[in-house]
Amino acid sequence: MGLFDKFQKTQESLNSLRGYSQSFFNVVLEEIISSTEAVINGRPTILAGTNNYLGMPHRKECIEAACRAIEEQGTGTTGSRMANGTYSIHVELEQAISRFLQKRHTIVFTTGYSANLSILSTVVGPKDIVILDADCHASIYDGCRLGGVQVYRFRHNDMADLEKRLKRLTKKGTNILIAVEGLYSMLGDRAPLKEIADLKKEYGAYLLVDEAHSLGVLGEKGRGLAEEAGVEDQVDFVIGTFSKSLGSVGGYCSSDHQELELLRFTSRPYVFTASSSPANIAAARKALEIIEKEPELRERLWANANMLYGRLKEMNFQLGPEPSPIIPVRFREIPRAFEAWNGLLERGVYVNMVLPPATPDGTALLRCSLSAAHTPEQVEQIARAFEDIRHLA
């Protein structure tokens, strides 16, 4: 058996899927016009699949902050946080996130993926248990795998199933960490966090919430689902990323547990990864300031999300369970999903297509993500494009 023989099935699947669409596998944003528009295949296209919830990548203040950081501190740190890669702006951003989230401690990581990898491979280990929602992000699963922790899944947002596992596993007398997300990235639905926090307290577990898609989106101050649900004091670890609402690259973990600081010496992904570039850190910090000062961004985001969700529901598309900036449109047949995706792109609208096994229920999804930067006219154009292809659903 050759080294690459294991990839034969992958190659066969790709060959089969290319029969539905050649462009799906080589989409290139040839020119970036704004946070909501780009040129794709030579055509101006509305971007409705970017996770750019608040339009930060093109905010003048964020661009200027990133440029200043490059001019003053260079393009990269060339070292890990444990070596020469901790600049004053890294520490200042950690302090700013702690203040914003009202947590005592924060560690900034190079990516959101490495934040989950670091926490779940270090805080818990082979003698501990993680009970996670079945729809959790791959980085949560990968962190558990790296740490060799015992993993048990409960059915997505099913509190009876979660409690059944808690009842059984607490008898083992070991530490249990419950891991969930704020907004789930495929279906755009919220975790029932108040009920989860109550179970966490009843059974003496710990709670980790990945707020990657809910930071800046949920809560009166934009702190995420924990704020909206009123359970921030019950969350032991808040994980997040800079690559969604903050429009940069990086990640963080915040906690009231003083022991979080020990991860700076024990977490391999933290110790052995070069730190975030000054430009990314500066842009993220400026975006955080804007989120605090401009709550109207969330209002615009939700107005756009509710508008598109309502229009697509009127067309009888099968959508996610609730309005959200993440709006999945489900297709039972993969060929029809490809035809619909191609049809949208031809009409100047780009969305994400997600195929099994990445989808939670085996269906294909055309996944829209709305932004505060979308104009009502753009949202209407997206809706009209979907109307043209609704016979395929």
What residues act catalytically? 185, 213, 244
Task: Say if CB 221 and CB 292 are below 8 A apart.
Answer: yes
Task: Say if CB 366 and CB 331 are below 8 A apart.
Answer: yes
Rounded CA separation 188/164 (Å) = 25
Please report, for residues 142, 176, 253, 260, 348, the alpha-carbon distance to residue 148 in angstroms, rounded to integers and kept in the order given. Answer: 10, 14, 20, 19, 46
| Bridge partner residues of 367 (DSSP) | 328, 352
Residue whose pair of structure tokens reads 């930071």 in the numeric block = 215
Count of beta carbons in the 10 Å neighbourhood of residue 158: 13
Rounded CA separation 101/89 (Å) = 18
Query: Who's near 175: CB < 8 A, 6+ residues apart?
Result: 124, 127, 128, 129, 206
Rounded CA separation 173/97 (Å) = 34
Rounded CA separation 360/91 (Å) = 38
Tokens read off for 68: 């200043």
